[in-house]
């Protein structure tokens, strides 16, 4: 297995290189940038802009800029944010905590809710409960997350509530942790959980349902039943274990969501995550921040894939990597 992991690492390097060239190229193609916009301020003259362009090495050819970036990136230096006059790593680090917290929490909630619902709707496919759950699922799939966010905010406002965005009420944001702060967070947390989680829950539920329906008609299920196994054993040991395999791959692919998903929902809900930061950096063409975040996203995707493959091997005795 270790040789498999090692080989995957080797393959990852050229892939990442290719991705980085692509991202760098696309950033350069983007029109405008923060330097041009500075000119609207009466303080800034053409000369100042040129000086700053030189300061950042933006007057050099694109390929020189790229190679310089690559050299530093290989050494673990993510570069410098033009806008913030600070190393990118620190800026990401400041925002990473809440991002990971929210992502992990939504992924967990999603799975904990979606898998049982998927099994339930597969087993009771014609029941009233399953129909209702399916309907909600369709709604969740079809509605963009930011719209759900706006609707929920409207609902909260109409009912006289005050928790309409963010993770805390203003007075708790920079307060030390306390029981009150925790309660305040819970009162805010349900909106992002629904908004970010609804889509994923619905799609995983539908996947799980389809897989289950598929597996339940297999011969080995009939065999298991006919040899007199308890229904519980048939269901959990034979059906679910087989049906869940494809979902493990999906789980691996959801790792980059830590960074790049939910950008719009995070902006609408004003969540302190990396999403809005990435969005703003893209608009401002703060190229090393964008590079760092997108590369991180690519690396996470690869790690997620690898983990998923390993988990598959562990869950399914038929899969072995030699």
Binding range to another protein, per CB under 8 A, among 110-118, 216-224, 244-252, 277-285: 277-285
Q: Give the nearer residue to another protein in terms of CB position, either 132 or 157.
A: 157
Residue 147 touching another protein (CB under 8 A): no
Quick check: 188 and 163 in contact, CB under 8 A?
Answer: yes
User: Which one of 10, 40, 217, 317 is in contact with another protein (CB under 8 A)?
Assistant: 40
CB closer to another protein, 8 vs 72: 72
Question: Is residue 159 part of the contact set for another protein (CB under 8 A)?
Answer: no
Sequence-ordered alpha helix ranges (H) in the chain: 2-29, 34-38, 46-55, 62-74, 88-123, 128-142, 145-158, 170-173, 179-216, 219-226, 231-233, 241-243, 245-253, 257-260, 263-269, 274-284, 287-315
The contact mask relative to another protein for 198-237 (x = CB under 8 A, - = no) is: ----------------------------------------
- 53 alpha carbon, distance to own chain's centre: 34
Contact between 51 and another protein (CB under 8 A)?
yes
Region at 165 (left for phi over 0; alpha for psi -120 to 50; beta for the rest):
left
Long-range contacts formed by 218-226: CB under 8 A, 24+ apart: 218/242
Angle at 119 between CA 114 and CA 124, to 5 degrees: 125
Q: How far apart are CA 230 and CA 253, in angstroms?
A: 35
Binding flag, residue 174, another protein (CB under 8 A): yes
Pick from 10, 14, 31, 228: which binds another protein (CB under 8 A)? 31
20, 23, 27, 33: which one binds another protein (CB under 8 A): 33
Pick one of 280, 314, 315, 319: the residue that binds another protein (CB under 8 A): 280
CB of 111 to another protein, least distance (A): 28
How many C-alpha atoms does 314 have within 13 Å on its Cβ side? 8
Choices 103-111, 126-134, 168-176, 177-185; region in contact with another protein by CB under 8 A: 168-176
Q: Kindly state the smallest distance separating residue 203's Cβ from another protein, in Å.
A: 26
Interface residue with another protein among 21, 22, 39, 64 (CB under 8 A) is 39
Please report how the helices 287-315 and 2-29 are oriented relative to each other, as an axis angle in degrees rounded to 10. 150
Establish if 178 lies at the interface with another protein (CB under 8 A). no
Is there binding between residue 36 and another protein (CB under 8 A)?
yes
> Considering beta carbons, is residue 193 or 250 the nearer one to another protein?
193
Alpha carbon distances (Å) from 280 to 150, 267, 276, 299 = 21, 10, 6, 22
53 binds another protein (CB under 8 A): no
Exactly one of 8, 53, 72, 95 binds another protein (CB under 8 A); which one?
95
Instruction: Please state the separation of Cα 154 from the chain's center in Å.
Output: 26
Strands 86-87, 80-81: pairing kind: antiparallel
Give least dist CB 169 to another protein, A. Answer: 7
Q: Is 156 among the residues that bind another protein (CB under 8 A)?
A: yes
145 lies in the binding site for another protein (CB under 8 A): no
Report the DSSP beta bridge partners of residue 81: 86
User: Cα–Cα distances in Å, from 120 out to 113, 240, 249, 284, 295?
Assistant: 11, 11, 22, 48, 39
Q: Which two tokens stand for residue 141?
A: 């799939």
Chosen residue from 267, 303, 306, 313 binding another protein by CB under 8 A: 267
> In the beta sheet, which residues pair with residue 86?
81
Binding site for another protein (CB under 8 A): 31-33, 36-48, 50-52, 55, 83-86, 90-91, 94-95, 150, 153, 156-157, 161-166, 169-170, 173-174, 267-270, 272, 276-277, 280, 283-284
């Amino acid at each position: 297995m270790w040789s498999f992991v090692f080989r995957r690492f080797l393959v990852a390097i050229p892939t990442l290189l290719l991705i980085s060239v692509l991202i760098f190229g696309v950033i350069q193609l983007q029109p405008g940038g923060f330097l041009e916009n500075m000119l609207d301020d009466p303080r800034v003259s053409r000369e100042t802009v040129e000086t700053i362009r030189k300061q950042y090495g933006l007057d050099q050819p694109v390929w020189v800029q790229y190679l310089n970036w690559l050299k530093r990136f290989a050494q673990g230096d993510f570069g410098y944010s033009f806008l913030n006059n600070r190393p990118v790593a620190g800026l990401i680090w400041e925002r990473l905590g809440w991002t990971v917290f929210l992502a992990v929490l939504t992924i967990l909630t999603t799975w904990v809710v979606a898998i049982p619902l998927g099994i339930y709707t597969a087993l009771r496919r014609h029941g009233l409960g399953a129909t209702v759950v399916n309907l909600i699922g369709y709604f969740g799939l079809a509605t963009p997350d930011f719209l759900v966010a706006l609707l929920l905010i409207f609902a909260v406002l109409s009912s006289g509530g005050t928790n309409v965005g963010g993770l805390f009420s203003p007075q708790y944001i920079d307060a030390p942790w306390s029981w009150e702060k925790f309660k305040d967070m819970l009162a805010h947390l349900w909106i992002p959980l629904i908004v970010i989680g609804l889509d994923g829950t619905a799609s995983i539920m539908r996947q799980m349902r389809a897989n289950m329906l598929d597996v339940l008609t297999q011969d080995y299920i009939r065999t298991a039943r006919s040899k007199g196994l308890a229904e519980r054993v048939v269901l959990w040991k034979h059906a679910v274990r087989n049906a869940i395999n494809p979902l493990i791959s999906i789980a691996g692919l959801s790792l980059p969501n830590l960074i790049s998903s939910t950008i719009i929902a995070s902006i609408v809900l004003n969540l302190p995550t990396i999403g809005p930061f990435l969005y703003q950096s893209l608009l401002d063409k703060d190229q090393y921040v964008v590079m760092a975040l997108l590369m991180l996203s690519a690396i996470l995707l690869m790690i997620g894939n690898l983990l998923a493959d390993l988990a598959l091997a562990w869950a399914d005795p038929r899969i072995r990597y030699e």
